[in-house]
Homo-oligomer: A and B are copies of this chain.
Amino acid sequence: MLDDLIQDKCGVFGIWGDKNASERTFVGLHLLQHRGQEHCGIVSATKKKFYKKHCEGIVNEAFSNEDLRNLRGRAAIGHVKYTTQGSSSMVNAQPFLRHTKHGNIALAHNGEFANQNSLREMFEKEGHVFTTTSDTELPIHFYGLTDGNTIEEKMRDTFELLKPAYAIVMLTRNELMGIRDVSGVRPLVIGELSNGATIFASETVAFDAIGAKYIGEVEPGELVIVNDGGIRRVQLLERKERLSCVFEHIYFGRPDSFQFGSDVTNSVLRKELGAQLYREHPIEADVVTPMPDSSNDAALGFSEESYKNGKGTPFGFGIVRSHYIGRTFIEPTQALRDIGVTKKFNVNKSEVQGKSVVVVDDSIIRATTLKKLVKKIKHFGAKEVHVRVTSPPYKHACYLGINTPEKKRLIAHREGSVDGVRKFIGADSLGYLSKEGMLSNKYFKGMSYCTHCFDGVRKIRRS
């Protein structure tokens, strides 16, 4: 997949019990940056006071040493976010910090509540006021209302009526909490520092970066409470059928993250997806090139499998990605657009000229850039271009927290058939991995996934 077409909405991070809490949050958010590049924020807290900083842009440019010093306290939560809204949407930037009868509460959310509209309407009828258009305000309003005596009772009141998908970290004066919806749609993992501090993060890479040990997932429906007395795990809500987002494995998650309880990192899963793809759509060619970098491992798996089953097609870097995109402000004039300028990706002529080329991609969303690259590969002298995709045709916009283009721009939906897509992108052949082949991945064993974007089946009701 070419970036920017579909996007995880967020990454979250939380830490309790470390004197460098905000600095570690900063580093952790940096490692989660692939989950959202447009806004980032940190809220920290001492026993007495909360501190907040929201920024536009990437973590590594947004915070100064002074900012981190000002974010005082031994506890902090953070958030990275993808959004297409303008700067005035800073009001939507997370973590949210709110004032209630229970004191201050800060919250960072990855996901989307399926029943957000009916709940918001209910609250407004009761006279509640909302500051943003974001569904992330909803749990805070439940929290403001609850009269629960214990924190568990308060949290049950807060989340009982909220439907998936959510993976949330919350910070009060007294505790840090991580909670995940009953179907475990979005990821949330627990880590530990050698000094005893507890950490939550969307992915395990955030632990690697700060030297923390990966403990395990926050389980579906589970509430994990951390305070100075230690960590307490509570099955707050009854688990339902597990519906983890398979796209985390296919594309979103970093290749070096362990996700959804898997024993291996995503790179291993992706090599297996590439191998299965070869078994379903074998081909003999001169080179297999990934769409860098998201399909690197899948292409490697495809190539390796080809050697086990035939004469083999070598892996090569036929497409080169620029590392210096930054925030692009320039729109090329029509003159330059027409000649197919692709500033982000270039084709390496020596790797494709005179060859039969297999391009492995993890998914095809709109196909506009892929079409240009296929054209450029042929322009540089490739004999044939065969496209292989390590997921089924992407036909349905996500309803559980992923930002997807409107349905009519999804090429698999628009063209209707695989051959229609093949013609659109100008490839000599096109093979998608089957849903069954994808789910047969041996490293997925025992887990179950949401596949709505491929099959259109909604298992979570909107009300």
Which A residues form the contact surface with B (CB < 8 A)? Answer: 19-20, 23-24, 26-27, 30-31, 33-34, 37, 51-54, 57-61, 63-65, 68, 70, 86, 88, 90-91, 98-101, 124-125, 127-133, 137, 140-141, 143-146, 205, 208-211, 254-256, 258, 264-265, 267-268, 293, 296-297, 300, 304, 314-317, 320-333, 335-336, 339-343, 346-351
A330 and B144 within 8 A (CB): no
B129 and A60 within 8 A (CB): no
A320 and B30 within 8 A (CB): no
B131 and A98 within 8 A (CB): yes
Contact of A332 among B27, B54, B254 (CB under 8 A): B27
B343 and A27 within 8 A (CB): yes
A100 and B124 within 8 A (CB): yes
Interface residue SS majority, chain A: mixed
Distance in Å from the Cβ of A176 to the closest Cβ of chain B? 20
Distance in Å from the Cβ of A323 to the closest Cβ of chain B? 7
A325 and B144 within 8 A (CB): no
Q: Which residues of B contact A293 (CB under 8 A)?
A: 293, 321, 323
B99 and A130 within 8 A (CB): yes
A326 and B323 within 8 A (CB): no
Contact of A88 among B54, B347, B350 (CB under 8 A): B54
Distance in Å from the Cβ of A16 to the closest Cβ of chain B? 17
Query: What are 16 contact pairs spanning A and B, CB under 8 A?
Result: A27-B332, A58-B326, A60-B325, A65-B331, A90-B90, A98-B129, A98-B131, A127-B141, A127-B144, A129-B143, A205-B346, A208-B347, A209-B346, A265-B351, A300-B317, A326-B326
Given known A65-B329, A300-B315, contact A99–B324 (CB-CB < 8 A):
no
Beyond the given A52-B88, A58-B326, A267-B351, could you list 13 further A-B residue pairs with CB under 8 A, ordered by the A residue number? A33-B323, A65-B330, A68-B330, A98-B129, A98-B131, A100-B127, A209-B343, A209-B346, A210-B339, A267-B316, A268-B351, A296-B317, A297-B317
> What is the count of identical protomers in the complex?
4
Distance in Å from the Cβ of A232 to the closest Cβ of chain B? 26
Distance in Å from the Cβ of A226 to the closest Cβ of chain B? 20
State A146–B124 Cα separation when bound (angstroms).
11
Q: Which residues of B contact A254 (CB under 8 A)?
A: 320, 346
A124 and B145 within 8 A (CB): no
Given known A317-B255, A323-B323, A346-B208, contact A101–B124 (CB-CB < 8 A):
yes
State A349–B258 Cα separation when bound (angstroms).
9
B255 and A320 within 8 A (CB): yes
A100 and B129 within 8 A (CB): yes
Nearest chain B residue, comparing its CB with the CB of A320:
B256
B317 and A350 within 8 A (CB): no
Q: Which residues of B contact A321 (CB under 8 A)?
A: 293
State A133–B321 Cα separation when bound (angstroms).
35
Q: Which residues of B contact A265 (CB under 8 A)?
A: 348-351
A133 and B99 within 8 A (CB): yes
Q: Which residues of B contact A20 (CB under 8 A)?
A: 333, 335-336
State A52–B91 Cα separation when bound (angstroms).
10
State A373–B316 Cα separation when bound (angstroms).
25
Distance in Å from the Cβ of A458 to the closest Cβ of chain B? 27
Contact of A323 among B34, B52, B140 (CB under 8 A): B34
Contact of A124 among B90, B99, B300, B340 (CB under 8 A): B99
Nearest chain B residue, comparing its CB with the CB of A348:
B256
B65 and A349 within 8 A (CB): no
Distance in Å from the Cβ of A313 to the closest Cβ of chain B? 12
Contact of A341 among B133, B210, B255, B323 (CB under 8 A): B210
